[in-house]
Amino acid sequence: MKVSLFITCLGDMFYPNAGKATVELLEKFGCMVDFPESQTCCGQPAFNSGYHSDAQKAAKQTIEAFENSSYVVTPSGSCAAMLHEYSHLLEGEPEWQSEAEALSAKSYELTQFLVDVLQVENTGASFHAKATYHTSCHMSRLLRETRAPQTLLSHVSGLEMVDLPHKHDCCGFGGTFAVKMPDISKEMVDEKVSCVQATEADILIGADPGCLMNIGGRMSREESPVKIMHIAEILNHTEER
């Protein structure tokens, strides 16, 4: 099975290990992974800020980058959700809209692809730690994916998962929201950090680099011992005791 990796801006710049783990996981389960080098930002920052004309340019660039791909897989629920918005974004341009629908049909967030397409629920990972999982807004509310991450994490040997209080609350990132409304964003991430600390978990796991960067940044300033990890790194991890 041929799969194209959509690494995303934050994955490329801040979470390269999540990208490496994504490729290794896909290859482990028989996928041939390529990387179309013309890929850029999915356009979500512009879209969320109301600059739809600029977002349309990014959408068309992404559509062309992956036009020859069989599947597009990304380690970001947020950016995967954005790819599914393209058909609405390009309404009024029939030729592009049909291409946008084709891209949406073959695009998946990593855990979604593992469970729904590859029919993998156990990646063979082992990780001995106590962890909690952050359910990101775009992953759960826009992409409507909540089952796949929990299913995969439940099979990681040695991993003790504890429920995150108020797990459906936003962490306060929201792309440019954190920049435009810093005071409100700070209050929201402080609440999220308090919930994480209440679990007494060693690790906070997430499937969206933006959320992990936001929560991790706040925890770092508070010198929290909780480690931040992308779910791909957990699912690709093996250890001997």
What tokens appear for 52 in the block? 């739809």
Rounded Cα–Cα distance for residues 233 and 78 (Å)? 18
Read off the pLDDT of residues 139-152 as tens digits, 9 standing for 90 and up: 998 999 999 999 99
> CA–CA distance from 141 to each of 73, 78, 137 (Å)?
19, 10, 5
In percent, the amount of the chain with pLDDT more than 70 equals: 99
Question: Is the pLDDT assigned to residue 163 strictly greater than 80?
Answer: yes
Question: Is the pLDDT assigned to residue 177 strictly greater than 90?
Answer: no
Average pLDDT of every residue of the chain = 95
Domains of the chain, CATH where assigned: 2-117 (no CATH), 126-236 (3.40.50.11810)
Rounded Cα–Cα distance for residues 240 and 61 (Å)? 44
Query: Could you tell me if residue 236 is left (phi over 0), alpha (psi between -120 and 50 degrees) or otherwise beta?
Result: alpha
Question: Is the pLDDT assigned to residue 117 strictly greater than 80?
Answer: yes
Q: What is the mean pLDDT of residues 1-7?
A: 97
Rounded Cα–Cα distance for residues 94 and 96 (Å)? 6
Rounded Cα–Cα distance for residues 126 and 144 (Å)? 27
pTM of the shown model: 0.94
Decide: 26 and 109 in contact? Cβ < 8 Å: no
- Which among 84, 40, 80 has a CA at the least distance from the CA of 62? 40
Q: What is the mean pLDDT of residues 45-59?
A: 94
Say which residue, 179 or 204, is predicted with more confidence: 204
pLDDT for residue 185 = 94
H or E stretch covering 10? helix 9-14
Read off the pLDDT of residues 69-107 as tens digits, 9 standing for 90 and up: 999 999 999 999 999 999 999 999 999 999 999 999 999
Decide: 54 and 43 in contact? Cβ < 8 Å: yes
pLDDT for residue 175 = 76
pLDDT for residue 241 = 55
SS3 content of the chain, % helix, strand, coil (to 5): 50, 15, 35
pLDDT for residue 240 = 66
Question: Is the pLDDT assigned to residue 15 strictly greater than 80?
Answer: yes
Q: For 180, what's the count of Cα atoms within 13 Å in the CB-facing half-sphere?
A: 7
Q: What is the mean pLDDT of residues 181-194?
A: 95
The full 3-state SS of 108-156, as one line of letters, equals EEHHHHHHHHCCCCCCCCEEEEEEEECCCHHHHHHCCCCHHHHHHHHCC
> CA–CA distance from 210 to each of 12, 59, 95, 234 (Å)?
12, 19, 32, 18
